[in-house]
Amino acid sequence: MPGIPIKPTVLAEIQRQFNHELGAAQGYLAMALWCEDQNFKGFARYFRKQVAEEREHADKFMAHLIARGVLPELQALAAPKTQFASLLDVARTAQQMEQVNTAGVNQVFEAALESKDYPAQVMVQWFINEQVEEEAWTDEMVARVERAACAGSLMDLDRHLEKILGEVEQAS
């Protein structure tokens, strides 16, 4: 299929990054399952929402490749971390994942800058913005879980999260 040609360096970064987004979806799925198993239903719902979001991220990159005349290549994904010592461990894993993801997004942008690939630059800008939010919420989650763990009120935090998500779903 035709389309604005894409240089191999940019293509390689986009391939790597959308597969990474799919890996992030798997990572969040593992967190959701662990939370379900531990009866943290609010957190489980929150992570399920992230699974859907990460898949959408991968879709955005894949759609860009298709529009540029390239068939996206799905790669084998590494197994995510499935066992967690605590809810804090889960939150910190999510935080780390988002930090790695930001670095990956920046790498795509740098390749696009170097290649003067303007369409890819504009496309990746959305992700650069998105990562600001993603890192903010994971930082907030870690801080809240840390505080709740001290006060022994993790279940309160979970119920609070479930209530918020319920209200968001009703509103949408």
Name the site residues for Fe ion (rule: CB under 5 A). 21, 54, 57, 134
Give me the residue whose beta carbon is nearest to Fe ion: 57
SS3 89: helix
* Residue 68 beta carbon to Fe ion: minimum distance, rounded to whole angstroms: 20
Closest Cα to residue 28, out of 108, 116, 98? 98
Q: Which is nearer to Fe ion, 13 or 134 (CB)?
A: 134
* Residue 103 beta carbon to Fe ion: minimum distance, rounded to whole angstroms: 12
Q: Which is nearer to Fe ion, 59 or 110 (CB)?
A: 59
* Residue 54 beta carbon to Fe ion: minimum distance, rounded to whole angstroms: 5
Q: Which is nearer to Fe ion, 21 or 158 (CB)?
A: 21
Contact 120, 167 (CB under 8 A): no
SS (HEC) of 56-94:
HHHHHHHHHHHHCCCCCCCCCCCCCCCCCCCHHHHHHHH
Closest Cα to residue 101, out of 57, 56, 145? 57
Cα 110 to its chain centre, rounded Å, is 20
* Residue 87 beta carbon to Fe ion: minimum distance, rounded to whole angstroms: 19
Q: Which is nearer to Fe ion, 2 or 53 (CB)?
A: 53
Say which amino acid occupies 81. Answer: K
